Every structure is written in structure tokens, then in C-alpha cells.
Amino acid sequence: MAALAKEKTVAVAGAGTMGAGIAQVAAAAGHRVLLFDSQPGAVERGRMAVAEGLARLVERKRMAAEDVDILMARIRSAGQIAELAGAALVIEAIAEDMAAKKALFRALEDVVAPDAILASNTSSLSITEIAGALRHPERVAGLHFFNPAPIMPLVEVIAGFGTAASVMDTLMATASAWGKKPVRCASTPGFLGNRVARPFYGEALRALEEGVTDVPTYDAILREAAGFRMGPFELLDLVGIDINWAVTHAVHDAYFHDPRFKPFRIQGEMIASGRLGRKSGRGFYDYRAGAEKPMPRTAPRAEPPANATIEGDLGPAAALVPRLAKTGVLIRRIANSAAATLDAREIAHLHGAILGPKFRLALSDGRTATERMASDGGLALILFDLALDYAATPRLALAKADQAAGDALAEACGLLQEAGIAVSVIDDAPGMAALRTVAMLANFSADAVHAGIADAAGVDLAMQVGFNYPRGPLAWAEQLGLVFVVRVLDNLARTYGEDRYRASPLLRRKAASGGSFHG
């Protein structure tokens, strides 16, 4: 199906930040755009916002002044909804209120041509319900742009229960022609991105409630070690703690209080105290004038051991080996003695460890260090967290077993510091910080595929281009090993005794079969 022809008129109903931004995108693609808003003065303010944004591009020499004039000439004001009659595509971008959206779509249906497409930019409301109020629900779909619309590449193209396949195809092609990265998904609470992203915030909030570490340290681990553009608390402050709270509640309620989507009390406490994030001056961080930015906790410099032994294969952390070999510490390698009693399939997913004179350093598998040391015995156990790239990571989180002496932790810190890695010591929490977050993101992604919300490629694309994740969650899980990811989730579920961490049936099936999400 071809994209909407440039000769076709696009209408945008709602001239706020999102509506004005969408109008700019359509006009930049060559369409004549009608911008409508029922609020007096809103269209003029919307056009002014577009003009001011484009003027800044001219100042930065990223756009020519004459091109701005051409683009702005394509965006015309519509004073009455009847003036949208000639539009081939109408994109609604009004407030997130179901009754208001239904009323607008009913009015639009009475005005536009029978073959015109009606799309909603809603970020959370049901496309099926919006369309259900119309005589022809088959022409209604979601076209969810991310803010700011002219910059963010992701567009979720959302099918309601009755949306025609031809409508979806046209919107997918049109979004691509407009320079966007469209992802096809089904109408479901949170759609795709906001549904899959829940654990990024949720696991951080749980860790804070449990005292795993402080806010700047947790953010530093997710940012510097796991490679996310921003830490979860930084992102909550940017988005607005109240906005995220509302989305979390909406998804939780829509899924009949499924514990996977449970909100966390501390977020409500923040809102009650007026700490909403950047917009209120205070959130998890203090943005007021003169406020100092808190630094993450970093372990003091410690003496490294004279030698260390790599036992077996470190699996996802294998890149640590050559990095450690470049230090002044004498490194030798031996086979994994624990593998002697295991079959070939188990051996393939058994990660080794780094042994020092006083410590055993191993990648977390979702259990606490205390539990693992109690069952395995041996040297004082220190666990390290997941990193996106162990060959280059500037930071790693460590957690020691309760039975381990402090000098064992210091020696392990010294080894990693010798390799140029800053160490953040956190409490002995199951799954630590980065690992539990990535495992849960992969789990939610697999569940979205299992539920038919989107395909694996669409999920990974959405989280990378829409949420700036360093790697698609499903591709990341495959790189770690699906059996390992399931093991982490099972250990979290057993430790907490909660259904929150139940592994997706599809993830478990792929792990059992040795299959892939991408082929």
C-alpha cells in the first residue's frame, strides 16, 4: 500500500505541543496542513510555536530561511471543524479524555469524505473504544507520535479491533515517507512502548524502597554500565513523576491489577509531597538554583590481588578476561570444576568465576550472593552486575554475600579498579540492578510478542528509537542467552514469591527449544 500522496491534505485537530509538532512533520513532508483547535487562540499559538522552533534551526544553520517560509505557508488555520472536510487524513491530538475524543471523532465522521482516514495520537486510550463510537470504525487507527514529534523518530501505528488492514498499511507507509520509524502494534493498554518500558521504572522504584542503593548510584549503574541514555530516576524527573504514575496506574487497572504492572508506593509519596520532577523544581533530584548534583557512590581505591584465576567461561562477561589480562595482575585460566557433574546443555549456560586469594567473583544469576554462597560454599562470594560492554564499561556494581568478610570485597574492588572500572557497592539484592532490569524488559517484550501486540523486530525497534535503549530487549536477551534470562526471572520469582517475575510462556518456550525471536 502506497503512502498518502503529497497532494492530499492532512488535518490536525488539536494545536497544542503535540498537534503543532505533527502539523510541522506533515508540512515538512510536502502536505497542505489544516490546523484546528476549538480553544480560541490555540491555532495561532501552535503556528507560532512551530515558527519559533524553525527559526532556531535557521540560527543553527540547519535549515534555510526560504524553506521555513515554504513550510509555514503549508500550515493553514481552520476556524471550524467543517473546514476539515477535504482532508484525506485527520490526526486527533487533543487532551487524553475518552469522552472528548469520541465527541470529536463523531463530529469528524459527519464532515470528512467516506474514504478519509481518522487517526488518534493518544498515548494510552483504547483505539477500539474510540472507533466503537463511529459508524465506520474500520477507518480509525492510532498514530502515536513521541514528543517532540518533529525530532523523535518512533511512531506507533495502532490497530483497533475493527481497523482495516488497508488503513494500517497506508499509515505505515505514510509515517515512513514522513521520515519516521513506524511500528505496527495492536490496541492494548500502554500500546507497545509504554507497556514494555514499565520495568525500567518499576525495578528502580522497588530497589529504592528496599534500600538497595541511592538514587544517583542506581542511575549511574544503569547509565554507565548498562548503557541507557538516562537512568530511570533521571527519566522519571524529566517525564514527570505524576505523568508516569498516571500511566502506570492506567496500565495496572486495564490489566485487572496484574502484579507485573504494580505501581510503587514511593512514587505516590513523591507526588503527595509536590516533588514532580524538573517541572516542580524537585523530584528524585533537586533542580533549584544552587542545588548540588549528588554523585554516585564509588568504592575507594583498594589494593588488587597479585594474581587471579579465571575459572571456566564467563559467558556474557567474557570480555572482562582480556581487560584484566592487561593489568599488572597475573591472570591464569582453569576449567570450571562445577561442570564435571553437568550434562552438555547445562554446561553451555554455566558461567564461570574469577577467583582471587580471598574472593570468588561471579555474574549474578538472579539469586543473592548470600543464598549462592550458602548453597555452594567456597571462597567469599562477590557478585557483579550486568554491563552492556564489559570490554569498555566504566562502572560495575558489586554485592557481597553476608558471610563474606570486608577484605574480600576490597580485594575484588581492587582487581576491577586495576582494570579501570569504577565500582559501586550495592546491597545484596536479587538480580542486582542492571541485570534484573534487562531481564524484565526482555520478559515484557517477549510477552508483547506472545500477546500479538507486535512482532519481535517491531518491539526492539520501538525501544531503541523511541526510548533510546542501547539494544533491543529481545536481541539483548538472545545475546545473554535465553536460558540464562529465564533462570534470572525464575530466581527472582522464587525469591520474592511474586507473580510479577513470571517468565513469559514464549520466552520460556524459545529458551527450551534453543530458538530465536529474530529468525
Q: Which three three-digit cell numbers place residue 438? A: 534487562
- For residue 280, the 8-state DSSP code is G
The yes-or-no answer on residue 147 being catalytic is no
Distance CA 248, CA 398 (A): 30
Catalytic residue among 120, 121, 144, 311: 144
8 A C-beta contact, residue 26 and residue 33: yes
8 A C-beta contact, residue 34 and residue 81: no
- In this structure, which amino acid lies at residue 474? L
The yes-or-no answer on residue 194 being catalytic is yes
Burial class (CB in 10 A: 0-12, 13-18, 19+), 165: exposed
Q: Which three three-digit cell numbers place residue 238? A: 524529566
Q: If we measure between CA atoms, which residue out of 430, 450, 444, 454 comes closest to residue 261? A: 444
Distance CA 484, CA 472 (A): 17
The answer to whether the bond into 148 is cis (omega within 30° of 0) is yes
The yes-or-no answer on residue 209 being catalytic is no
The yes-or-no answer on residue 156 being catalytic is yes
Alpha-carbon dihedral of residues 125, 127, 130, 136, nearest 10 degrees? 170
Using alpha carbons only, give the angle 420, 426, 428 rounded to the nearest 5 degrees: 125
Interstrand relation of 154-159 and 140-145 (parallel, antiparallel or unpaired)? antiparallel
Catalytic residue among 92, 120, 121, 156: 156
Distance CA 172, CA 155 (A): 9
Catalytic residue among 120, 121, 123, 445: 123
Q: If we measure between CA atoms, which residue out of 263, 267, 289 comes closest to residue 276? A: 267
Q: If we measure between CA atoms, which residue out of 73, 56, 453, 386 comes closest to residue 251? A: 453
- In this structure, which amino acid lies at residue 397? A
8 A C-beta contact, residue 123 and residue 18: no
**What separation, in Å, do the N-terminal and C-terminal C-alpha atoms of the chain show?**
25
Catalytic residue among 187, 194, 424, 443: 194
Phi-psi map region of 190: left, alpha, beta (phi>0 left; psi -120 to 50 alpha) = left
Interstrand relation of 307-311 and 353-355 (parallel, antiparallel or unpaired)? antiparallel
Q: What element of type H or E holds 230?
A: none
The catalytic site residues sit at: 123, 144, 156, 194
